Homo-oligomer: A and B are copies of this chain.
Amino acid sequence: MHQVNVGEDMREHNRRIAAENREMLRSRGIASLNIMSAPGAGKTSLLVRTLPRLRDRCRVAVVEGDLQTSRDADRVAETGVEVHQITTGEVCHLDAAMFHSALHRIDLDELDLLLVENVGNLVCPAEFDLGVDRRVMLLSVTEGDDKPRKYPLMFMQSSLLLLNKIDLLPHVDFDVERASREAREINPDIEIMGLSCRTGEGLDAWLAWLDRFIESSGGA
């Protein structure tokens, strides 16, 4: 039972640091989002599309989690928004301690919104609370409409499910109704929006969601 105890210790340790992170952000009225998905579902493309339109609305920064390379961080930095990279090496998710280190590098007094792009992985990132306000997940329609029941934890935790790459719907077998129904069976409160980072369809609704979220957190 040795391993189980260590796992429990690690989880308790993560919970404690996540609580600290939450306090650091909430005490300053900073709205924060943990953006999660499988690899290649479009997290970075979503940020690249979103940030230029957010910059006029509020003060925003991004934390980028990646196993290797600064490719995503570089793409995000091109928008002119402040980016802080966490290179996880072999670790397949961000945890609260990694995020805590990043928070210490950011001037939190100059911030309304903090967006975290987690490592591309539909499983493990959902197991580690970072201490942010809400979780948002992307599911690309190319991944299949059977994913909610197969990977329930992330759907259970997310406030918003973004069905990305809807421009490809005519070319794939993805039943939006089925995916939405299953996601709501797992999490009745989840909001669901379709969008395409490629064509820009649906981005206005996502921006409006972000505006409401920032307001409700007391920022901007």
- By a beta-carbon cutoff of 8 Å, the part of chain A in contact with chain B is 2-3, 6, 10, 38-40, 66-69, 71-72, 90, 92, 119-124, 127, 140, 142-144, 146-147, 149-153, 165, 167-168, 171-172
Copies in the complex: 2
Contact between B142 and A40, CB atoms less than 8 A apart: yes
CA distance A144 to B90 in the complex (A): 21
Contact between B3 and A67, CB atoms less than 8 A apart: no
For A147, the chain B residues whose CB sits under 8 A away are 39-40
CA distance A175 to B147 in the complex (A): 27
For A144, the chain B residues whose CB sits under 8 A away are 39-40
Known: A68-B151, A71-B149, A120-B151. 15 other contacts (CB 8 A): A3-B10, A39-B122, A39-B144, A67-B123, A67-B150, A67-B151, A67-B152, A68-B150, A72-B150, A92-B121, A92-B124, A124-B124, A142-B165, A167-B171, A171-B171
CA distance A127 to B120 in the complex (A): 16
CA distance A15 to B124 in the complex (A): 23
Contact between A69 and B149, CB atoms less than 8 A apart: yes
Q: Which of A40, A69, A123, A167 is most buried by chain B, counting CB atoms within 10 A of its CB?
A: A40
Contact between B123 and A122, CB atoms less than 8 A apart: no
Say whether, besides A124-B124, A143-B39, A150 and B90 are in contact (CB < 8 Å).
Answer: no
Closest residue on chain B to residue A93 by CB atoms? B123
For A90, the chain B residues whose CB sits under 8 A away are 127, 153
CA distance A149 to B2 in the complex (A): 35
